[in-house]
Structure formats: structure tokens, C-alpha cells
Amino acid sequence: MSNNSNFVDYVKIFCASGNGGKGSMHLRREKYIPKGGPDGGDGGRGGHVILRGNAQYWTLIHLRYRKHIRAEHGGAGSGALRHGADGKDIILDVPLGTVARVAETREIVFEITTDGEEQILVQGGRGGKGNNFFKSATNQTPRYAQPGEEGAEDWFILELKILADVGLVGFPNAGKSTLLSKLSAAKPKIADYPFTTLEPNLGIVEYRDNRSFVMADIPGIIEGAHEGRGLGLRFLRHIERNSMLLFMIPADSKDIAKEYKILLKELEMYNPELLDKERILAITKSDLLDTELEGLVKKGLPKKIPHIFISSYSAKGLDKLKDMLWESLNN
């Protein structure tokens, strides 16, 4: 079961680098120099397609819609030893841990592991040499130049093993599946009884500027889960992989602070290190509250944990929740 928690985010893209520009076959012709020598410049190199590690990205979803990626061709050289312009490189930002493979052979080209690291996926063609390059003592006016080298193209697969970035923690029926289906394209089976979610559901939550993160709904914790009661250990394992935890307690709970304590206790008895993760508390189903009731509920909330009132039903607070999660992930 634990394998399900790291599903693979996967895109297949076609990448073509630019052709090199051709070298110039030019002889210098100026008023007082009737027989100037060769002065043809070299062509520029074609653009590369480059992958760059970016710690701000958590998934590959921003590349899902960019199927064909082509870098620019290099410019031709010209007279007076003018070098052609290099083709513009295309740089694709990817999350750390992205593996690039050649689609046909499945062979790994490289893996991106650090922020800002750049690796060339497809090399641009070299520019051709102008005739100036070929002159020698025995051949003082070469009348030929090189064409540019062609760029390369291929289909590649980018893969990222995803560990969920945000784990949802709450009793059964706290609204976790509903929130996940609201914020992401995941379509969990939702019903109103304990243990609806028997396996962790993962969903990609799209955020601003093409960025996104992964949210996992971990099956509801019940008191005694750490002793292996109910589904206990099978799903507590998943939480260990998350970067942060979102606690979810419904607004109509009899005692929110107490419920929070029980959830924390379960996590602690299972693995005290879980308590070191960043935490946020979401009060769900808060469309049931008017301002006055919300004020009352606020008074009873546990201290020392940032909170937010949300409703998946009316979408109240969901955008602000995404902001809070994003800031916490990128702390």
C-alpha cells in the first residue's frame, strides 16, 4: 500500500534544438583594397533546450500543455567577420527530482536534483565556419564556407516521483475528500461514514503562475489508530512523507481544541517526529457559522497553530487556504 503514496507525475514532450547558422563566404571589397582577403564570419549556434531545477515547482503540470518545444535557429555569419547571432535557448523549469528519459529507449538522460541546476536536454547545432577560418599560407582566398550543423529532435519523458506536499489530517467525515475534490482534479469517492477513504487519495492543486502542489487525503484517524486499531498503521505511514499537515475539524464539532489534541496525540504516539512538521488548522463546514458564532468558535481554538475558516460547499476561504499552504511549503 505504501507505494501508492508516491505516484508518478509524467509528461511526454517533443523537443527540437535550433540549427546552426551557415558561415559566410565573403571577400573583402573596399575602395582602395581591390583584392581584400576572405572576411566571412561564422554562423551562430542553434538554441539548446535546457531543463532547469526550480525549488518553487512541485509538479510537472505546467508542461502538460506544451507538447512541442522548439528552440531558435542560429543566424548566418556575414562579411567583415560578423558572427551570426546564436539561437535563443529554451529553458524549462522543473521540480527537483525530475528524471528525463528518451521516450523510445526509456534511457535516462539525467536527473535534476538542485535548485538552479541547468542541463542540456537537446544540444543546438554548431554554427558553420566562415571562409575566413579556412585561409592558410597556401590557400589565401578560400571561396567556401561551412553550412551550419542541424539541430536534434526527439520525444522525451519527464517523470517526477511525487510525495504529497500537504497531508490532510482529521477524523472521518471532517470533509477531507470533499476539500480535495474541490481544490484538485482528484475525484475521490465521497460518502458520509467513517473509513470512506480507505486509500490515500492524491490530487494536484493548481496555484498561481503555473505552479502547483500535491495534496493527499489520508484516511481518517480514529482514537487508538497508533495501536493498529482500524486502519491505523497502514495509513499513518503516509503522513511521514508529507512536508506539512493540514488539520481539518468541522465547525459543528463539540470541542475543537479537544479534537485537535486527540489527533495530535495519535500522531505523536505513532511517531513523535510528525509533530515537527508545519501545521495549519482548517475549520471546515464553516458556511454553517454566522459572524457571531465564528467569533465564539475562535475563542475555543487551540493556540499556537494558524487557523482558517473554510467551506468546500460555498468555497469560503479556499483561495486564502491555498495561499497559506503555498507560503508554508516554501518557507
Q: Model-level pTM?
A: 0.64
pLDDT of 45-71, one tens digit each? 999 999 999 988 888 888 988 889 999
Regarding whether 196 and 61 lie in a shared domain, the answer is no
Mean local confidence (pLDDT), 117-145: 94
- Please say which residue of 111, 139, 161 terminates a domain: 161
Q: How confident is the model at residue 284 (pLDDT cuts 50, 70, 90)?
A: very high
Lowest mean pLDDT segment, chosen from 74-88, 123-137, 176-190, 248-262: 176-190
Q: In one letter, which amino acid is 28?
A: R
- The sign of the CA dihedral 249, 250, 255, 259 is negative
* CA angle (238, 243, 249) in 5-degree steps: 70
Mark whether 210 and 88 lie in a shared domain: no
Residue showing cell 523537443: 15
Eight-class DSSP state of 215: E
- Ramachandran assignment for 50, one of left (phi > 0), alpha (psi -120 to 50 degrees), beta (any other): beta
Q: How many domains does the chain have?
A: 2
Residues 154 and 249 in one domain: no
Residue 225 has pLDDT above 70, yes or no: no
Cα separations (Å) of 163 from 2, 58, 97, 212?
11, 10, 11, 13
d(CA 223, CA 38): 86
Query: Does 153 share its domain with 171?
Result: no
Question: C-alpha distances in angstroms, 270 versus 167, 218, 232?
Answer: 16, 15, 9
Mean pLDDT for 183-191 is: 59
Among residues 145, 161, 177, the one where a domain terminates is 161
17, 156: one domain: yes
Most confident of 122-126, 164-168, 260-264, 265-269: 122-126
The edge-to-edge listing of strands for the beta sheet with 49-53 is 90-94, 49-53, 118-122
**Whether residue 80 is found in the same domain as residue 213:** no
Q: Which residue has the higher pLDDT, 117 or 97?
A: 117
- Please give the grid coordinates belonging to residue 209: 503562475
Among the candidates 161, 183, 203, a domain finishes at 161
> Model confidence over 69-95: pLDDT tens digits?
999 999 999 999 999 999 999 999 998
* 217 and 130 together in one domain: no
For 205, the domain range is 166-329
Tell me, yes or no, whether 120 and 201 share the same domain: no
Same domain? 9 vs 38: yes
Q: Which of 111-120, 186-195, 210-219, 266-275 has the highest mean pLDDT?
A: 111-120
120 and 244 assigned to the same domain: no
Residue (of 145, 111, 168, 149) closest to 310 by Cα position: 168
Give the residue, 316 or 186, on which the prediction is more confident.
Answer: 316
The reply to whether 299 and 208 lie within a common domain is yes
